[in-house]
Amino acid sequence: MARAMAQAARRASRDLLLSRPDARIAALVRVAELLRASSADIVRANAIDVANAVAQGKNQAFIDRLVLDEPRIDAMAQSVNEVACLPEVLGTPLSETVRPNGLRVRRVRVPIGVVMMVYESRPNVTIEAASLCLKAGNAVILRGGREAFESNSALARIFRQALVEAGLPESATQLVQTADRAVIGQLLLQHESIDLAIPRGGEALIRYVTENARIPVVQHYKGVCHMFLDEGCDPEEASRLVHNAKMQRPGVCNALECLLVHRAEVQRVLVPLAKSLIQAGCELRGCPVTHSLVPGVSTATEADWGTEFLDRILAVKVVNDLDEAMAHIARYGSGHTEAIITPNAAHADRFRQGVDAACVVVNASTRFHDGGELGLGAEIGIATSRLHWRGAMGLESLTTMKWIIDGTGQTRL
């Protein structure tokens, strides 16, 4: 089954290469219409999934991600329309030159081909991934969590109906129609027909995909994000940024996990900030200096550095200078999002250049590393792998390039 699905996707991706942007836009607009028109059916299918998940004792957060109701379906339809309206990315020249012999040489954006998405029981990902892949001219194979099976089937049916109505290949969007986990493993071996796997979910899922794939994988590992409060930073601004980065939504990958403070700013910045964080309900695990100066700060263990708490917990360390902060980030960071708060332009430059992460932030909250906030319009995830694309992935991240050489009969000497 895996092989047949992958081959059908490859054929569909070839047809998509020759499809017109209008047809892809029309299909997406039709998906949005059908989502709204079929919302009662979708809610009914979703209710089966929800009842099963409740019976299996899934927790409230899990159920919350699974549930679809009218407002959520409407939001999905709206997001599909937004993807439909994103500027066209295919065919854009990435470079263009005319060679001395008259050859016109261009690199242009083209679809990747066939993308495989593996994700958890969040039906909205089905629609987001399918929309972005279609807009970028890719065929996609979707494998969502088993607990969302009925919901995803209803959504994929709509997508395929819209494809057919727009004259596009139905197999451009395929949903894995079995709960059998072995099919994922088989799909991950189809390197002839699948070009990229994107796993989204827990670390175990991502590791499984990475270790079993014979196709390239873009990983979305954890965000162990740091913020360094440099000498001379404004205490009020630093406090606002730390509170925003840590407390606004602690359970997401761009939330702050470890605060580094220049030793010159311990009394002026760190002590009042630490007190206000504790007062706001944040647990602090500090280095010996922090522990000794602020009541209520526990002593951090080695394990606390480099941990993604995803909770109202913050590791705090006093450092001697910028380079110690950067060395700490190099050792314990996960290459996701790293921030510096500084009035010093030279320090900002050194941090931007020397910190190796998907996103470096100067004088703003780490929470801005997000497709919507960066202006991508829609996001398929935040890549922590380093090749092909890094950080927030929008439409462009689902494309690759090809060379086009236009001549007038030139031969090579």
Rounded to whole angstroms, how far apart are CA atoms 127 and 259? Answer: 37
Residue 105, interface with its own copies (CB under 8 A)?
yes
Residue 369, interface with its own copies (CB under 8 A)?
yes
Q: Which residues contact 121 (CB under 8 A, 6 or more apart)?
A: 49, 53, 62, 65, 66, 144, 145, 146, 147, 148
Residue 362, interface with its own copies (CB under 8 A)?
yes
Smallest gap, in angstroms, from Cβ of residue 327 to its own copies?
9
Residue 360, interface with its own copies (CB under 8 A)?
yes
3 state SS of 194:
coil
Residues 247-306, interacting with its own copies (CB under 8 A): 248
Segment interacting with its own copies, rule: CB under 8 A, options 37-45, 277-285, 292-300, 380-388 = 380-388
Residue among 129, 213, 210, 201 at smallest CA distance from 172: 129
Site string for its own copies, 18-37 (x = CB under 8 A): x-------------------
Rounded to whole angstroms, how far apart are CA atoms 288 and 294? Answer: 10
Q: Which of 85, 103, 164, 179 binds its own copies (CB under 8 A)?
A: 103
Q: Which residues contact 388 (CB under 8 A, 6 or more apart)?
A: 196, 216, 218, 397, 400
Site string for its own copies, 235-254 (x = CB under 8 A): --x--xx-xx---x------
- For residue 292 the two structure tokens come to 């000794």
For its own copies (CB under 8 A), the number of binding residues is 69
Smallest gap, in angstroms, from Cβ of residue 369 to its own copies?
7
**Phi, psi values for residue 119, rounded to 5°:** -150, 175
Rounded to whole angstroms, how far apart are CA atoms 196 and 380? Answer: 13
Query: Closest CB to its own copies among 73 and 187?
Result: 187
Residue 390, interface with its own copies (CB under 8 A)?
yes
Site string for its own copies, 319-358 (x = CB under 8 A): -----------x-----------------x-x-xxx-xxx
| Residue pair 366/248 in contact by the 8 Å Cβ criterion | no
Query: Closest CB to its own copies among 33 and 234?
Result: 234
Query: Closest CB to its own copies among 65 and 106?
Result: 106
Residues 197-236, interacting with its own copies (CB under 8 A): 210-211, 214, 216, 234
DSSP 252-294: STTSEEEEEEEGGGIIIIIHHHHHHHHHTT-EEEE-HHHHHHS
DSSP 10-40: HHHHHHHHT--HHHHHHHHHHHHHHHHHTHH
3 state SS of 157:
helix
Query: Closest CB to its own copies among 272 and 377?
Result: 377
Task: Kindly list the residues in this chain that would bind its own copies in the complex (CB under 8 A).
Answer: 13-14, 17-18, 91, 97, 99, 103, 105, 110, 112-113, 195-196, 210-211, 214, 216, 234, 237, 240-241, 243-244, 248, 330, 348, 350, 352-354, 356-365, 367-370, 373-375, 385-392, 400-412
